[in-house]
Amino acid sequence: MTSRNQNVHGTGGATDSAGQPMRSDAERNRGRIIAAARTVFGRDGLHASMASVAREAGVGIATIFRHFPVKEELVAAVFADRMEAYAQATAEALANPDPWDGFTGYIEEVCAMQAADRGFADMMTMSFPGAEALEALRAQAYQGFLELIERAKDSGHLREDFTSRDLVLLLMANAGVLSATGDAAPDAWRRLVAWMIQSFQAPARGPLPDPPEDAALYEAMRRASQGMGSSEAGKRR
């Protein structure tokens, strides 16, 4: 469950841990922290330290933890708008009258969103059970993607053994390529995505190994998010 002082959109109206409105200086600090985290996470990914965010914001690490006791809450504040865009991309894809164009356009759009922000690339391969607003948007996008899959299969363009878990694997692979290539080969991800889209197309060239179970993928994503914050624990003691 998100804490009472969390405002996931990073806008005004923030409250303290007792649910009271923040003083103007405290709210300004909170805004500076969120803006700094956008910069640091976007550049370095979610494994960047809270100390790095504090330096970027020009505040002490104690100030960071007063506003965001756990890193997950800061991630939720920073990426709420991007998760809304992610969910909206599904709705726009479903509005495309061509099922295959809608399906492939959605995959390209989501992977482009990853490429534009390393923090978002990481977040798409992690699960944050305590960030209820983020997870609700993720679930909304997931339900829309299931419909995209069925439409593309019904049109005869998508191979029958494609599952929603294949998108998770693609996002994980894309995040890895983005992390490895960085600014040395910033468009390398496009080739990966193009290859994968062609492999998804019917008719299938041959059988595939079974996909991982949903529970196994969720556990992998959960562990990734736990690893993101593990290095911070000692800094608070």
The confidence score (pLDDT) of residue 237 equals 44
Q: Average of pLDDT values for 200-228? A: 89
| Tens digits of residue pLDDT in 138-163 | 899 999 999 999 999 999 999 999 99
pLDDT of residue 10 exceeding 80, the answer is no
pLDDT of residue 5 exceeding 50, the answer is no
The confidence score (pLDDT) of residue 15 equals 52
Across 100-104, 202-206, 213-217, the highest mean pLDDT is recorded for 100-104
Nearest to 29 by CA among 8, 14, 49: 14
Structure tokens at 197: 């889209």
| Tens digits of residue pLDDT in 18-30 | 455 556 788 888 9
Confidence of residue 131 (pLDDT cuts 50, 70, 90): confident
Structure tokens at 210: 């079974």
pLDDT of residue 93 exceeding 70, the answer is yes
Cα separation, 215 vs 217, in Å, equals 6
201: β partners: 158
Q: Average of pLDDT values for 59-76? A: 92
| Tens digits of residue pLDDT in 157-180 | 999 999 999 999 999 999 999 989
The domain limits of the chain are 80-230
pLDDT of residue 73 exceeding 70, the answer is yes
Contact call for residues 50 and 65 (beta carbons, < 8 A)? yes
Task: Select the CATH number that applies to the domain covering 80-230 from these four: 3.30.390, 3.90.1580, 1.10.1410, 1.10.357.
Answer: 1.10.357
* pTM: predicted TM-score of the whole model, two decimal places: 0.79
